[in-house]
Structure 1
Amino acid sequence: MSSPLRSSSDEYGHREKDVENNKAGIYVNEQPTGYHGNVTPTQGIIRARQIQSSVAPFRWLSQGEQWLDRKMGIETQGIDRIPEDQKRPPSIWNVFLMWWGATCHIGTVPIGALGPTFGLPLNKSVAAIVVGTWLGALCPAFCGTLGPKLGMRSIATSRYAFGFYGAKLCSVLSIVVAGGFGVVNIVITGQLLSAVSDYTMSVSVGCIIVTVISYLVSVFGFRYVHTFLKYCWIISFILLLVLVGQAAPHAQAGLPGFSTGLAHAGTWLSMFSIAFSSTAGWASFSADYYCNYPAKTPSWKIFFLTQFGATTPIMFATIVGAVIANAAMLGQVEPWYSTYGQYGLGGLIRETYSPLGWSKFCLVMLTFSVLGNNVLIFYSSGLDLQLLGDYFHAVPRFIWSFLTAVALAALSIAGKQHLSTIISNFVSMLGYWAICFTLILLIEDQLFRRKTGYDLEAWDTPSKLPWGFAAIFSLLAGYLGGGLQGMSQVWYMGEVAQKFGPGGGDVGIYLTAAITLVVYPVTRYLERRFTGR
């Protein structure tokens, strides 16, 4: 259970004491040099508490949150920085295991199915998955290292590059990213539950069921999320092993694809982009789950445990999708081929498992396998929404998570017939945002703050944070100059992407990364020179 909230007078007292210590050159902390501050900065907290005490609806919500905390131990800690003496870290191995719970599930399988759906042979699909997933995981692996250092959530750490107001844009983009992952998860599990009922229950009802269960788990917060993710992957891992085992005799790695030459290369690049983005998209979430680890936790441990923890289950589940789709789409095995066309991936998975009784049992269990992923999405989205402003901060996280769940359920129901289109159009575009976000934070951390470090007392004070011009300009330059020219989508194909045949090839990630690497160091140097921040 979280510690009781401090009063406004206590907050002011702690801040005044800390200011006096800083003026005297005394830093009452045990953090590495360059990370100054000991108590949670109070400006944002005080403003949120004042709103909660003076505005009746916010007061009722806050009282309701405290009641739930007393009765059920839900987490009341929101976006506020966590001081060292208040951190309650789980085992360091949870950094590795949480990714298994978050990504080793049936919602990752549709991403791999896109390779054969695009017409790629199995060996080329697997190559794109392995390379793309490994490189994409570098993004959440680095961003996660900032969580223990600063004791902050992912988007809060971005204030040291994007500024107080620029980080709000990051919040919005992070919410959109989370929503895309959530829609994919909810739609595929809705299809599975419909298949279990012999298609008598609509996909929409299945979407609602899995959304409700996911939200209820997410309410309890950090400690319960880590515990849940530590174990929830085991059953889904076993069932996915069985799934690929039953599909493997029908898959044929030697079957040719639908295209050759330059068009074939373009298809591979698009599949690589999707695999990269499906892992890199976690960059704006990873520190949310590491901020309770002590600041002295070695960054290399966080980095490598995240890198291997994310790549191993994502590669596995994505390759499973490629294998079953290879048999259905390229091998045109019946009734798999016709079922895939009529009922989507959920129907295909039902046909892959056999006999029917065993198949229905597996589908029910796999439905619950996405809970770990959805829990992270609802949890992080609630935190991101709190960062949008004081009134947003005053609303408890569990309320924002609920509204996120409602929105994703509605979007899932609306897009239930277009799962492949949602994945191919949306997921690859996540990579443009993720690579920009990661490179900006990496350059800021390793180049501009290597000597000066981070003033942790400034995290919620706009006048002490960077203006954010350099980061926002670099983000827009990367998107418009790189992503827009290199993207290959159904609704738009960039000038560079068009060079890879009639179907194009998505090279937006490479172009976005190159532009960000060039633009941000220059603009940030100028920003620091003229503003002193």
Structure 2
Amino acid sequence: MDPEKRDLENRDHSTDSHGFDSENGTADSDAADEIKRARDIQNRTGLFRYMRKGEEWLDAKLGIETQGVDRIPEEKKQPPSVINIFLMWWSLNIHVGVVPLGILGPEFGLSLGQSIAASVVGTFLGAICTSCTGTLGPKLGLRQIACSRYSFGFWGSKLCSFLNVIIGGGFAVVNYVVVGQILSACSDYTMSITVGIVIIAVISDVISIFGFKLIHTFEKYSWIATFILFLVLIGQAAPHVHPEAPEEDGDSGLLFAGNFLTILAINFSNASGWCSMAADYYCHFPSTTPFWKTFTLTFWGVVIPTCFSVIIGCCLGNAAITAAYPPYAEAYEQHGLGGLIATVYHPSGWSKFCLVILTFSVLGNNIAINYSSGLSLQLLGHYFHAVPRLIWSLLFVIVVAVLAIAGQEHLSTIVSNFVSLLGYWTVSFTIILMMEDKIFRKRSGYNLTVWDQPSKLPIGVAAVVALLAGYCAGGVTGMAQTWYIGPIAAKFGGYGGDVGIYLSAAFTAVVYPVLRTVEKKYIGR
């Protein structure tokens, strides 16, 4: 047997399911190879050295996080309260950027009941993905994309890093545009949406650089004011919400089925979109944290606040679009969601106060996206790792702000097209990580000392091929977008019905175990 292969097997079997040495009960805390290489690049290259010194200076003066993507050994973990696993999702999902998802149902011609049903079912299914992958954070002490190296390999996980940044960017664009609309409405439309986008981008980036500790503290409380204002919002809009509208029967036919499936897919993708980031916020929790506890707190932490925000959107869409209450319909037509919310709140002084507060509701979501996107960019390679996370987060914010400014007039199109596209890869990502964890590593566990050593990680062919099979064979044939309707999706009426997530899941679940078995047999890792 090859010595390296024999050594890997011995090390795998000397660790328990959490990656700890069975003899001394602790994980190997020696500096990892990737960290050494990143530090070497910083020390020998002027630009990288200056960036590192700048980061250290900010850490000394302001206490920002400099941890980056490095694995967190058990003895160095600093866990917040376990209830944070539940509460942090409230700030991530109770904000004005989630409301447009609910408005899409009425835009697609669904009644209030139909919109809510599709949104809630989609959210429930999508939350399962995020809850599953998040359980790897405490177990491995690694960020989510780093966890994927144990199935995708060192090189294949770079694809996941790239896709994760795309996901975060899409959600952030929606948030920026909505806030831009709200700030514009607050100024009686004397300030452009572009200025509002720039303001929220700057604030989001400044907060995100402080890292894990501040994010957990901020997320624990920042949702409360928004929750109260949303209750007031629906209370003031309630007299103009008409559940019986539209009067014609929309419960039959392929057109209805297609629209229902599409709204379900969009909400699935919104809830599952966090599956490539969840472990980023759990890696400080002890490895002994039970699977069921992490899963349950995450699941309900995602489901409850997301459904709350989306249902608010369904009601607003019903009043402004389906029932077409004139003041609401005019405000939404001319000024988008920001104008609609400004009109719902009354009188004028109270409305402006609420708009200002709601402007900051997206911060919880934005700073988490900025943080995770910076980590994902660091995982693209040694030179990327050598660049401090705060630099990557800043560049990410700049790009997102530019995209938001360019797409500010097409919010509904961005939401309906972009968000549903996410589900095709997130469901495959989840299935691959969970099959690896529950089937292929059920006995051997994880050798955490090799998380950054390409030669000792899986080559990743099985995972990458399974992901692409799910996306291409399942997602492409089952997607229903304004620019493309797959042949299977086209069976559900003229606008199609999005069934890509189900097809992606099916293809991935079949392809991965077969290829991974072959990979382990002939490659040995």
Kindly provide the CA deviation profile for residues 343-387 of structure 1, in whole angstroms up to 9, marking residues without a partner as x.
111111111111111111111100100000000000000000000
* Superposition deviation, residue 245 in structure 1: 1.1
Aligned pair 1:269/2:256, yes or no?
no
Does the Cα contact within 8 Å between 2:21 and 2:27 map onto a contact in 1? no
Using a 3 Å threshold, how does the CA distance of structure 1 residues 275 and 33 change in structure 2: closer, same or farther?
farther
Instruction: Report the residue type matching 2:66 in the other structure.
Output: T
Using a 3 Å threshold, how does the CA distance of structure 1 residues 187 and 153 change in structure 2: closer, same or farther?
same
**Residues 377-416 of structure 1: pairs in structure 2 closer than 5 A:** 377-416=369-408
What secondary structure does 2:476 align onto? helix
Aligned pair 1:105/2:91, yes or no?
no
TM-score normalised to the size of structure 2?
Answer: 0.95
Deviation larger for 254-263 or 242-251: 254-263
* Superposition deviation, residue 298 in structure 1: 1.0
Segments of structure 1 that go 5 or more residues without pairing to the other structure are 1-18
Q: Which residue of 2 aligns with 1:243?
A: 233
- Cα distance in 1 for residues equivalent to 2:485 and 2:214: 43
Using a 3 Å threshold, how does the CA distance of structure 1 residues 215 and 258 change in structure 2: closer, same or farther?
farther
* Superposition deviation, residue 532 in structure 1: 0.5
Kindly provide the CA deviation profile for residues 98-150 of structure 1, in whole angstroms up to 9, marking residues without a partner as x.
00011111111011110001110000000011111111101110101000110
Q: After TM superposition, which residue ranges in structure 1, 4 or more long, deviate above 6 angstroms?
A: 21-27, 32-36
- Cα distance in 2 for residues equivalent to 1:33 and 1:402: 42
* Superposition deviation, residue 342 in structure 1: 1.0
- Cα distance in 2 for residues equivalent to 1:33 and 1:495: 53
- Cα distance in 2 for residues equivalent to 1:32 and 1:275: 42
Correspondence for 1:143 among 133, 136, 143: 133
Identity %: 56
Aligned pair 1:351/2:378, yes or no?
no
Correspondence for 2:498 among 496, 506, 510: 506
Using a 3 Å threshold, how does the CA distance of structure 1 residues 25 and 341 change in structure 2: closer, same or farther?
closer
Aligned positions, number: 514
Aligned pair 1:63/2:53, yes or no?
yes
**Residues 121-132 of structure 1: pairs in structure 2 closer than 5 A:** 121-132=111-122
- Cα distance in 2 for residues equivalent to 1:50 and 1:109: 46
What secondary structure does 1:230 align onto? helix
Instruction: Report the residue type matching 2:352 in the other structure.
Output: K
* Superposition deviation, residue 37 in structure 1: 3.4
Q: Which residue of 2 aligns with 1:49?
A: 39
Does the Cα contact within 8 Å between 1:78 and 1:396 map onto a contact in 2? yes
Segments of structure 2 that go 5 or more residues without pairing to the other structure are 1-7
Q: Which residue of 1 aligns with 2:70?
A: 80
Does the Cα contact within 8 Å between 1:107 and 1:370 map onto a contact in 2? yes
Deviation larger for 492-501 or 333-342: 333-342
Q: Which residue of 1 aligns with 2:276?
A: 284
Using a 3 Å threshold, how does the CA distance of structure 1 residues 23 and 428 change in structure 2: closer, same or farther?
closer
Kindly provide the CA deviation profile for residues 241-296 of structure 1, in whole angstroms up to 9, marking residues without a partner as x.
11111111111111127955110010000000011110000000000000000111
Does the Cα contact within 8 Å between 2:138 and 2:285 map onto a contact in 1? yes
**Residues 154-173 of structure 1: pairs in structure 2 closer than 5 A:** 154-173=144-163
- Cα distance in 2 for residues equivalent to 1:279 and 1:317: 12
- Cα distance in 2 for residues equivalent to 1:151 and 1:515: 30
Q: Which residue of 2 aligns with 1:454?
A: 446
- Cα distance in 1 for residues equivalent to 2:268 and 2:425: 12
RMSD: 2.0
Q: Which residue of 2 aligns with 1:467?
A: 459
What secondary structure does 1:106 align onto? coil
- Cα distance in 1 for residues equivalent to 2:30 and 2:305: 36
TM-score normalised to the size of structure 1?
Answer: 0.94
Aligned pair 1:187/2:180, yes or no?
no
What secondary structure does 2:475 align onto? helix
Using a 3 Å threshold, how does the CA distance of structure 1 residues 212 and 33 change in structure 2: closer, same or farther?
same
